[in-house]
Amino acid sequence: MQYSLGIDAGGTYTDAVLIRDSDGSIIDSNKSLTTYPDILTGIRNTLDGLDQQYLEKVHYVSVSTTLATNSVLERTGYPVALILANGTDIPNSAKIEHFTLVKGGHNSAGNEVCPLDLEPVKEFVLRVKDKVSAFAISSYFSVRNPDHELRIKEVINELTGLPVVCGHELSQDLGAYERGVTAYLNARLIPISSHFMEAVSSELKRRNIDAKLMMLKCDGSVVGINEALKRPIESVFSGPAASLVGAAHLSGNENCTVIDVGGTSTDVSLIYRGLPELSEAGAVVGGWQTKVKAIRMETSAMGGDSHVWVRNHVINIGPRRVIPLCLAAVEYPEIIEKLKQNQVILRNQIGENLQPTKFFIRSGLETTDISSAEEELLSRIGDRPLTVSEIYWNENRLPNPGTLDLLIQKRLIKAIGFTPTDALHVLGEYTQWNREASVLGAGILAALSGTDEDELCLQIKKDVARNMALNLIAFLLEDVSREEIEKVLKRKFFAGFKVDLPVVLLGGPVRAYAEELAEFIDAEIIVPEHCSVGNAVGAVAGKGARKLEVLIKANYTESKYNLKTSSFVTFFPGGREEFASYQEALEFGEEIGSKLIMNYMSDAGLDSTEVSIDMLRNDIVTHEGGLPVETRLTFSGIGEAERNRKMEVE
């Protein structure tokens, strides 16, 4: 008897599940706290809690994670430089510290329209190479001709040796800026994904588990570890994708919507006829429009570990994630006494970072590229939690909230505070950790908001449930603004929302919100037995999939009287070929498309003998009986993961 292992590393918990290959039954599951930055400990703790006699028989392992997503949402990725070779401005340049624009680019036919100027590239690379961890490149119409991106990449390799990501390597879609964003985010996530996969593979080796290692992508398909490490941006929504696949498996519904409440965010998605609904425009991550083919989803930065803070009597939830008071008090019991002391912060000073229920502690990461003000503040914070008052105990001032924020963004310090998880502890609906810390924190915030502890926590619980409903309805009613939906949810009209598909809830204490959610929507709400490890189930239940396009376009020359077709160009991922006749171009397109699908399946560690490929052809013809001026070939491949054969890991 053989078994498969699914692992999902979220912002709060790392889950694991054992599935029997013969019938897909869940044999055992476990969840442990995600330990960051040393995620290996969390993975080890999770696997320790599984039945070891089954774990020894595992031959297939698949993983998913929200670590990459959380990094983008919380703006805590590694520094990256972006180079655009298209002469256009960067709409979100304020969010990118290191970027440059250089002359270059091609047209839709793949012909050079502006020579590439490499001197500014060299000057920029030499100026920032010691400040960044990687480079991202995008040039105009690189999907038609990647020459300029490849030449820039060669220069960077010669000057730095740092990782370089090109836009054409990640997407075939038009949009030089969006491809640049995709490459930029991909480069930021390379260290995070590498660290995660190295931790998983090293722990499997330590346990002598000789298994094939796969990763779930953000479109719900699986890919081999080596391929996953080349494109970590494709894992950016692998956690939500895993929840979608897992929800369908656990509930037995091929048609359902899914609300996944994690520590950092709440995600909504849909699966129909067993296939995840994908975003046509590409995934939007933390406000960035990318060209990554991912599940279509609605997400918000509100989860079980979102920071609850009060200012001017108003209760705010998120967007930042903190360590819940109830959880932190288990490891740092002194938090109890510090909460009892109720540090004093003037009302005009109170903000998201300056809260009487918030503590700070060093993360353990080494300092890199920080200002003198950041260094001075960091020197005051140690390996035990301190209040803002304690950090500047002997001075008549508080830490600068902006400096605190920068240290959190750079992951040099971690924050502890009140969360929706604490609210559930106060209400007695989820009591896994230290309830006393939650009750003390609720008392402090209740005084600031002009209410009592229970009323505060009931309000937080209701706000979280309303946010779940808002995300769900906004997802289903794409053309209706969130503001209008929220008016209905706040009972400003004698109307409501009915959802025709089952709504499956996944997440740790998600059962606590089912009743409140039912007050906002009329739907069949399902909370599966293994809802707390649904993502781990989805990680191991995914299949292999690949979709790509081949474009054939007529090339024209201008004669004295009209335009005349001179040749046909076939564009495919990574290259272009020119042919004298349309038939030659078409035959090559059909051949290269199928070949690229099979190559991908092989490189991804999937069973090449079990691959089915469908091709959809779309012609544009200007007059009856004439040759197409454009033909688009869309190839879709589905493959099964080889669960019995091991895969070499570089």
What is the CATH classification number for the domain harbouring 583?
A: 3.30.110
Cis geometry, peptide bond prior to residue 319 (ω within 30 degrees of 0)? yes
Distance in angstroms (rounded) separating the CA atoms of residues 89 and 527: 48
Q: Is the pLDDT reported for residue 647 higher than 50?
A: no
DSSP E strands in 10-65: the ranges are: 13-20, 26-33, 58-65
Which of 176, 191, 206 is at the close of a domain?
A: 191
Task: Quote the tokens at residue 4.
Answer: 């498969």
What pLDDT shows up at residue 411?
80
Q: Is the pLDDT reported for residue 94 higher than 50?
A: no
Q: pLDDT band for position 646 (50/70/90)?
A: very low
Q: Is the pLDDT reported for residue 101 higher than 50?
A: yes
Q: Is the pLDDT reported for residue 236 higher than 70?
A: no
Identify which of 516, 308, 362, 325 has the alpha carbon closest to the alpha carbon of residue 436: 325
Both 317 and 451 in one domain: the answer is: yes
Which of 456, 473, 502 is at the close of a domain?
A: 456
What pLDDT shows up at residue 346?
72
Q: pLDDT band for position 282 (50/70/90)?
A: low
Q: pLDDT band for position 233 (50/70/90)?
A: low
Identify which of 56, 60, 63, 68 has the alpha carbon closest to the alpha carbon of residue 16: 63
Task: Quote the tokens at residue 304.
Answer: 């079980």
Identify which of 71, 81, 76 has the alpha carbon closest to the alpha carbon of residue 235: 71
Both 311 and 447 in one domain: the answer is: yes
Q: Is the pLDDT reported for residue 325 higher than 80?
A: yes
Q: Quote the mean pLDDT of the chain.
A: 82
- Residue at 536 is within a domain: no
Both 179 and 316 in one domain: the answer is: no
Query: 577 has which bridge partners?
Result: 570
- Residue at 452 is within a domain: yes
Which of 407, 424, 456 is at the close of a domain?
A: 456
Tell me how far CA of residue 220 lies from CA of 11, 359, 370, 462, in angstroms: 20, 38, 38, 31
Q: pLDDT band for position 650 (50/70/90)?
A: very low
Pair type for strands 288-289 and 284-285:
antiparallel
Q: What is the dihedral of CA 268, 274, 279, 282, to 10 degrees?
A: 100
Distance in angstroms (rounded) separating the CA atoms of residues 410 and 531: 33
CA 163, 648, 195, 34 dihedral sign is: positive
What pLDDT shows up at residue 92?
54
Both 448 and 562 in one domain: the answer is: no
- Name residues whose C-beta falls within 8 Å of residue 364's C-beta, 6 or more positions apart in sequence: 37, 38, 383
Q: pLDDT band for position 395 (50/70/90)?
A: low
Q: Is the pLDDT reported for residue 120 higher than 60?
A: yes
Using alpha carbons only, give the angle 188, 194, 199 rounded to the nearest 5 degrees: 140
- Residue at 530 is within a domain: no
Cβ atoms of 178 and 291 within 8 Å: the answer is yes
Q: Is the pLDDT reported for residue 320 higher than 90?
A: no
What pLDDT shows up at residue 75?
56
Rounded to an integer, the average pLDDT of 453-462 is: 94
Rounded to an integer, the average pLDDT of 469-486 is: 89
Query: Which residue type sits at 431?
Result: T
What pLDDT shows up at residue 562?
60
- Residue at 66 is within a domain: no
* 38-47, 108-117, 224-233: range with highest mean pLDDT: 38-47
Rounded to an integer, the average pLDDT of 135-141 is: 84
- Residue at 70 is within a domain: no
Identify which of 344, 387, 382 has the alpha carbon closest to the alpha carbon of residue 364: 382
Both 451 and 548 in one domain: the answer is: no
What pLDDT shows up at residue 329?
95
Both 186 and 88 in one domain: the answer is: yes
- Residue at 423 is within a domain: yes
Pair type for strands 275-276 and 80-85:
unpaired
- pTM score, whole prediction: 0.68
Q: Is the pLDDT reported for residue 229 higher than 50?
A: yes
- Residue at 62 is within a domain: no
Q: pLDDT band for position 558 (50/70/90)?
A: low
Which H/E stretch holds residue 587? helix 582-603
Both 314 and 431 in one domain: the answer is: yes
- Name residues whose C-beta falls within 8 Å of residue 468's C-beta, 6 or more positions apart in sequence: 259, 261, 266, 268, 513, 517, 520
Rounded to an integer, the average pLDDT of 613-642 is: 81
Q: pLDDT band for position 649 (50/70/90)?
A: very low
Domain containing residue 613: 544-641
Residue 527 CB neighbour total at 10 angstroms: 17
* 335-344, 395-404, 466-475, 613-622: range with highest mean pLDDT: 466-475
Q: Is the pLDDT reported for residue 448 higher than 60?
A: yes
What pLDDT shows up at residue 648?
35
Q: Is the pLDDT reported for residue 560 higher than 80?
A: no
Both 325 and 187 in one domain: the answer is: no
Rounded to an integer, the average pLDDT of 516-540 is: 88
Distance in angstroms (rounded) separating the CA atoms of residues 134 and 620: 41
Rounded to an integer, the average pLDDT of 231-253 is: 76
Both 435 and 549 in one domain: the answer is: no
% of the chain beyond a pLDDT of 70: 85
Using alpha carbons only, give the angle 273, 274, 276 rounded to the nearest 5 degrees: 100
Rounded to an integer, the average pLDDT of 126-141 is: 85
User: Is pLDDT larger for residue 575 or for residue 316?
Assistant: 316
Both 310 and 450 in one domain: the answer is: yes
What pLDDT shows up at residue 254?
83
What pLDDT shows up at residue 321?
87
Both 446 and 581 in one domain: the answer is: no
Domain count, the chain: 3
Both 450 and 549 in one domain: the answer is: no
What pLDDT shows up at residue 521?
92
Query: 569 has which bridge partners?
Result: 553, 578
3-state secondary structure of 398: coil
What pLDDT shows up at residue 586?
94
- Residue at 491 is within a domain: no
Q: pLDDT band for position 18 (50/70/90)?
A: very high
Distance in angstroms (rounded) separating the CA atoms of residues 426 and 445: 13
Distance in angstroms (rounded) separating the CA atoms of residues 304 and 460: 11
What pLDDT shows up at residue 579?
92
Q: Is the pLDDT reported for residue 509 higher than 70?
A: yes
Distance in angstroms (rounded) separating the CA atoms of residues 435 and 297: 34
